[in-house]
Structure 1
Amino acid sequence: MIKAIVGANWGDEGKGKLTDVFAHESDVIVRFQGGNNAGHTIINDYGKFALHMLPSGVFYDHTVNVIGNGVALNIPSFISELRELEEKGIKPKLVVSDRAQIVMSYHVRFDELEEARLGKAQFGSTKSGIAPFYSDKYAKTGFQVSELFNDAWLDSKIDRIIDQKNALMVHLYNQAPLTKEAILRELHEYRDLIKPYVVDVFNLLDDMQKQGKTILLEGQLGALRDPDFGIYPYSTSSTTLAYYGSIGAGLPKAIDEVWAVTKAYSSCVGSGPFVAEIFGEEADQLRRLGGDAGEFGATTGRPRRVGYFDAVATRYGCKVQGATHVALTNIDVLSYLDEINVVTGYEYEGVITQDFGAVSVLEKSTPVIKSFAGWNVDISDITDYDALPENCKAYIDALEQLIETPIALVSNGPKRSQIMNRR
């Protein structure tokens, strides 16, 4: 059985919690794309954790946790998170693909410098080096983990790429040039840190799948940040879609279930069109109440932009993810409202549509709103879906019809136990 957990929206949907819950019945959890530019918040018996590099299954003794070949591997971040877990007595089984590529310190520096150069036109990068990393990967100037163990190869490769890097560093950004010695020293440090975890993940996962193990693919960010189907150029640099998961994991097999995660309202960190966005005190109140610690980015700490549930964006997100099931999170957050608004369409130049269009159209679109009655009672202690208030269930029924994908799980709080089966 191969399952994928991915985001239906802009990221920050609650995927980490769902992965943590599903890990209980899984054998392998694989991160298949992205890097430490986003975070999954996990709350369990050990405490509260914001994971940026590690898979969300690291809290279980029985799971193997994998960094796949599609990941932007930030080795210092990987080691730092691992040590934080070990300090609390958590010793996960972790492996890293020998085909994963490495985020270098100069990737982070290029990211910072480019955002500064762009000024007001910047893309809202987390400045984690992700765009420069993936640029290097596809330009074939990046470093694969397997290359760390061949000094002659590294020496030759640095000679091949350093002039290109310094053309940017010196002549575009007016910074001091990179040196071969510093790059080689960094690579050697990374080799020593990551060596105990490096395996041939392709063959490992192939064997696991043949043995009938349950493999969970953990996505980062959401469908609307995908560079092809999202709000490009306000996107990330790796594909966020489930069906890339089997490639980015190193497991080119069919996926049995795709779980798309969406909140009961909208939120996002970063720039780009956000038709459902609300502002002022209305937004501040939702942001304060959202989740366990409010709507602030797990990686950046930036206040998330928030808005009404966007059925247009979510329906589209579920479709491009190929979702077979939806998990709806943070339904408890809306309990303070007497009336709950939902975006059911977009209006552009006098025409109403239910299609999620190009960025140039989205930026000038306005929301079409439908209101639903609230339930105005705390539901965070409810464990049986049927026990939810009728207005709450009616709201969920309406969302399911609007997004045209079955909502199978409903989460009413940040803890593992706060999740209900709807089917």
Structure 2
Amino acid sequence: MVTCIVGINWGDEGKGRVADLLSRDMDIVCRCQGTSEARHTVVNERGSFMLNQLPSGILYGGVCCIMGDGMYIQPDRLNEEITRLRDAGVDISPENLKISRRAALVLPGLTATQMRLLLETRDRLCMGDLTDVEMLAEHLNALADAFRRYGGKPNMSAWSACCRRYTALFGDYIADTGAYLYDAEHAGKRILLESQSGALRDKDFGVFPYGSPTNCLAAYTPIGAGMPGVRLSRVVGVMKAYSACHGDGPFPAEITGEEATYFRELGQEDEDGATPRRVGGFDAVASRYGVRLQGVDAIALTKLDAVSFLPQIPICVAYEVDGKRVTDFPTPSALRRAKPIYEYVDGWNCDISGCRAFADLPVQAIIYIRYLEELVGAPITYVSVGAERDAYIRDSVKAEIQ
């Protein structure tokens, strides 16, 4: 059985939280794509962990973790991440972590533009090159030529020294992970594929030109994992109980001023001290589009607790574009002109962090969840009600509440 976790919106939906929840029932967890810029946050009894490149399953003993073909691995940052987790008592070895030999190796010293250009061409290194001395030298020379074409000044001696160090650090972890996953799937193992970013950041179907350089859709996850012929058994899409967007580009449901500050404080959106994250009411138009792109079977709704004390909860049910009401997600150019059309539902004004079943939730919270299901067209089967590992509700609200 192969399950994948994907983002429905602009990314930062809480996929790490949900991946941690599902990982406990898996044999293998594979991170399919992304760089060290990805941030999956997991909170457990040991503390709070920011996983930039490692799969979320690394925090469970007995789960084998894969860094898949579609990843852009920055070895120095990966080593720092592994060291942080080991210092916290997490066991990491070639037995429970395997790195695809086809994953891209990102050398230090590249600008963001140079890195993107090199990764989009054939002139790049793969992690498997570290285990083949002759091939590594050939590929380093090709990379240096490409680097010069993009205006860089390659330092071959420094690059060679880095690669020798990376071989010593990760040589034992590098494997044919595609074959490993293929055999595991045929043996009936439970596999979780962990995606990066969200549907609206997809390079083909997202909001151009503000997307990711990679595909962020469920259909791509088996390819990024290294098992392109495998069918997904289940797609779990993740969305927040409100909207959040990190980065530039049109964001129709955006709320500003004091109300935005209140939203960010409730959702702890600025806890990393970075640029304030853009926030807004739940965007049904964007979420419905994301659900369709991802082919979602089940939805995990995160941060429901963050809207608990709002007297009225805003929901963007449509856009106004050039004086017309629009309920389908528009083109990127039209999206720039879109204005939100809001409806409001009553809040429930109480703490729900102790709820562990849908029946425990206040009536207004259940009404809110059901309305979101109706708006996006998919069942909500997981709800997080707090940051702690056990602060979630599982199973369909319709199955439990009649």
- Which TM-score band (shorter chain)? over 0.9
User: Which of residues 151, 168, 173 is equivalent to 1:197?
Assistant: 173
AA aligned to 2:193 is: L
2:39 equivalent in structure 1:
39
Distance 1:224 1:296 in 2: 21
Structure 2 residue runs of 5 or longer lacking an equivalent are 397-402
218, 221, 224: which is aligned to 2:194? 218
Correspondence 1:168-207 to 2 at 5 A: 168-169=150-151, 177-207=153-183
**Paired residue for 2:399?**
none
Matched, 1:394 2:397: no
| Secondary structure, counterpart of 1:379 in structure 2 | coil
Q: Distance in 1 between matches of 2:144 and 2:168?
A: 23
Quick check: 1:40–1:50 contact (8 Å CA) kept in 2? yes
Match of 1:145 among 107, 123, 127: 127
Aligned ranges for residues 47-66 of structure 1 at < 5 Å? 47-66=47-66
CA distance in 2, matches of 1:401, 1:242: 22
Q: Which secondary structure does the structure 2 equivalent of 1:224 belong to?
A: helix
Q: Distance in 2 between matches of 1:148 and 1:421?
A: 43
Alignment partner for residue 281 of structure 1, among 252, 255, 258?
258
Q: Spell out the pairing of 1:110-129 with structure 2 (5 A cutoff).
A: 110-111=111-112
Q: CA deviation at 1:386?
A: 1.1
Query: 2: CA distance between counterparts of 1:297 and 1:216?
Result: 28
- Residue equivalent to 1:334: 307
Paired residue type of 1:288: E
Q: Which amino acid counterpart does residue 57 of structure 1 have in structure 2?
A: G
Residue in structure 2 matched with residue 102 of structure 1 by the alignment: 105
- Residue 348 of structure 2 is matched in structure 1 by 375
CA distance in 2, matches of 1:307, 1:260: 19
Name the structure 1 match of 2:146: 164
Identify the range of structure 1 (338-347 vs 350-359) with the bigger mean alpha-carbon deviation.
350-359
User: Which stretches of structure 1, 4 residues or more, deviate above 4 A after TM superposition?
Assistant: none
Q: Deviations over 1:126-151 (max 9, x none)?
A: xxxxxx44532331011011112233
Q: In the alignment, what sits opposite 2:244? A: 267
Please tell me whether the aligned partners of residues 133 and 142 of structure 1 are also in contact (alpha carbons under 8 angstroms): no
SS at match of 2:345: strand
AA aligned opposite 1:319: R
Aligned residue type for 2:328? D
Question: What is the alpha-carbon distance in structure 1 between the residues aligned to residue 191 and residue 64 of structure 2?
Answer: 9
- What TM-score, normalized by structure 2, do the two folds share? 0.94
Give the superposed CA RMSD.
1.5
Partners of 2:125 and 2:143 within 8 A in 1? no
Give the distance between the partners of 2:204 and 2:349, measured in 1 at CA: 40
Match of 1:27 in 2: 27
The CA distance in 1 between the partners of 2:65 and 2:223, in whole Å, is 17
Is the 1:31–1:55 Cα contact (8 Å) retained in structure 2? yes
Give the letter for the 1:154 counterpart. Answer: L
The C-alpha deviation readout for 1:54-82, integer Å capped at 9, x for no partner, is 00011111100000010111111211111
Which of 262, 269, 281 is the equivalent residue of 1:295? Answer: 269
* 1:45-102 deviation digits (Å, cap 9, x = unpaired): 1111111010001111110000001011111121111111111211031110111111
Match of 1:319 among 292, 297, 304: 292
The answer as to whether partners of 1:43 and 1:414 remain within 8 angstroms in 2 is: yes
* Contact persistence 1:31–1:249 (CA under 8 A): yes
Structure 1 CA distance for aligned equivalents of residues 22 and 296 of structure 2: 16
Q: 1-side partners of 2:349 and 2:334: how far apart? A: 36
User: Greater strand percent: which structure?
Assistant: 2
Q: Is residue 388 of structure 2 the alignment partner of residue 415 of structure 1?
A: yes
Superposition deviation, residue 169 in structure 1: 3.3
Find the counterpart in structure 2 of residue 208 from structure 1.
Answer: 184
Contact 1:134 1:238 survives alignment (8 Å): no
CA contact (8 A) 2:29 2:194 kept: yes
CA displacement, residues 167-207 of structure 1 (integer Å, 9 cap, x when unaligned): 4335xxxxxx2222222222222222211211110111111
